[in-house]
Amino acid sequence: MDSSPLNSEKLQITSVQHALCDTFDIQLDLLRLDLIHPNLSGNKWFKLRHSMDHASKHNYTALLSFGGAYSNHLHALAYAGYRHSFKTIGIIRGEKIDNPTLQDCRQWGMELHFISREQYREKNEIDFLADLQTQFPTAFIIPEGGSNALGLQGCREILQCVDASKYDTICCPIGTATTFTGIAQSLQLHQNAIGFPALKNAQYLESFIQEKIPHKRWRIEYDYHQGGFAKCNSTLLQFMVSFYQANHIVLDFVYTAKMMMGIFDLISKAHFQKGQKILALHTGGVQGNQSKPALNFSK
Nearest to 29 by CA among 12, 15, 18: 15
Nearest to 97 by CA among 69, 120, 116, 73: 69
Q: Are 155 and 183 in contact (CB under 8 A)?
A: yes
Query: In sequence order, what are the beta bridge partners of 15?
Result: 29
3-state secondary structure 189-248: CCCEEEEEECCCCHHHHHHHHHHHCCCCCEEECCCCCCCCCCCCCHHHHHHHHHHHHHHC
- Whole-angstrom distance, CA of residue 146 vs CA of residue 150: 8
Enumerate domains of the chain plus CATH numbers.
Answer: 13-42+149-291 (3.40.50.1100), 44-146 (3.40.50.1100)
Higher pLDDT pick, 10 / 278: 278
- Is residue 156 scored above 80 in pLDDT? yes
Mean pLDDT score, 146-167:
96
User: Which band of pLDDT confidence, cut at 50, 70 and 90, is reported for residue 8?
Assistant: very low
Q: Are 65 and 77 in contact (CB under 8 A)?
A: yes
Mean pLDDT score, 217-234:
92
CB atoms within 10 A of CB 291: 17
Mean pLDDT score, 105-109:
97
User: Which band of pLDDT confidence, cut at 50, 70 and 90, is reported for residue 285?
Assistant: confident
List all residues 6 or more positions away from 122 whose beta carbon is below 8 Å from its beta carbon: 128
The amino acid present at 275, given as its one-letter code, is G
Which alpha helices (H) appear in the chain, and where do they start and end? 19-23, 44-57, 72-83, 100-107, 117-120, 126-135, 149-155, 178-185, 205-212, 234-247, 256-268
Mean pLDDT score, 65-88:
95
- Whole-angstrom distance, CA of residue 285 vs CA of residue 24: 30
- Is residue 293 scored above 80 in pLDDT? no
The per-residue pLDDT for 192 is 98
Using CB atoms within 10 Å of the CB of residue 78, give its burial: 0 to 12 exposed, 13 to 18 middle, 19+ buried: buried
Mean pLDDT score, 198-204:
92
**Mean pLDDT of the residues in the chain:** 93
Query: In sequence order, what are the beta bridge partners of 141?
Result: 64
pLDDT tens sequence across 28-37: 999 999 999 8
Nearest to 78 by CA among 44, 35, 121, 55: 44
